[in-house]
Structure 1
């Protein structure tokens, strides 16, 4: 069975977007290098440094499903039903869109626990990546996350949407990180201590 990871790009002070859902300089690292990483989405190609390329290729290669919340799904219009990671998407929502047939590679599930379970089924032994803040926080609270991954970029937002918020079960201890320094981002992988 695959692992459940969270992964997001985050400012040094802990934000994944500003209050208006704008990522500003956070995604600069996706276009800061000379290694071209095509994605299954024909509208998205990354140009990163060698360290970022290695991290993305490993992440993409091992991901069998991606989990997000309805808010992120709406902001991106479901990535045109072709997320750049190339895996099917599971959207955790109480209210699926009226026309779910627009997204045949997307599954809509009510509840984080059910969403992670469905994503693990879809992933068929590969990893599941969670890429929404509230879904990640709830999955951490439920003990469903195996690893927390952060692409940490050298910018301070001062305010915005935090990657992490209050955890209902209190502190979550992580093991020592794997650190991959790169151009415009340091990639961190923290196994969750059980």
Structure 2
């Protein structure tokens, strides 16, 4: 959907997107499950997807115009040194914007301190007709609870993690109202799914 807001994440069978220490474990093994090379923007090396995953990835990423992420992910990745692997700008929802970030000169990071509504509004402004992607965890939960999501995308992998950070961290189950899947693509080590958010 053009101009839509979509939460997207790779998730274990028991609903986790990372361990408590933010280690993803085997969640991203599907990024090296095939022989189709996908080149990243920035400094990350290419990854290698199956044809099914590569087609899905390309369809999804070419529509994204901006991302919304939380401060934890920003700090873990050092803001991808200023260039996200998707090659798009990103909005960081944070209590306090950094004043000495070494890669601020790239102009790709936009810091918002006024809450999830303001962060998504800023991302929409940047994305124009493009899709706004929302990171999993606390940020996705806040966006869902605020009625800001149009779709939920899940890359479901066949592992059980037992504990960690959930896809929709701290969200009230009553806020989760999803329709029937609009897409299901089975691939090696992952099943790609998308669900509309019902309002």
TM range (shorter): over 0.9
> Of residues 139, 146, 153 in structure 2, which corresponds to 1:149?
153
Aligned twin of 2:186 = 181
The question of whether the paired residues in 1 share the 8 Å contact of 2:17 and 2:136 is answered with no
Q: Which region of structure 1 is more displaced relative to structure 2, 77-86 or 41-50?
A: 41-50
Aligned twin of 2:110 = 107
Listed one character per residue, the Cα deviations across residues 95-127 of structure 1 (whole Å, up to 9, x for unaligned) are 111224623210000111000000000001100
The question of whether the paired residues in 1 share the 8 Å contact of 2:7 and 2:135 is answered with yes
Question: 1:43, CA displacement in angstroms?
Answer: 2.0
Aligned twin of 1:79 = 80
Alpha-carbon distance in 2 for matches of 1:52, 1:76: 24
Return 5+ residue gaps in structure 2 as ranges. Answer: none
Q: Count matched residues.
A: 194
RMSD across aligned positions (CA)? 1.4
Listed one character per residue, the Cα deviations across residues 120-155 of structure 1 (whole Å, up to 9, x for unaligned) are 000011000001311110110110000000101011
Alpha-carbon distance in 1 for matches of 2:136, 2:155: 14
Return 5+ residue gaps in structure 1 as ranges. Answer: none
Listed one character per residue, the Cα deviations across residues 149-185 of structure 1 (whole Å, up to 9, x for unaligned) are 0101011001111112343482422111110101110
Alpha-carbon distance in 1 for matches of 2:173, 2:156: 25
TM-score, normalised by the number of residues in structure 2: 0.93
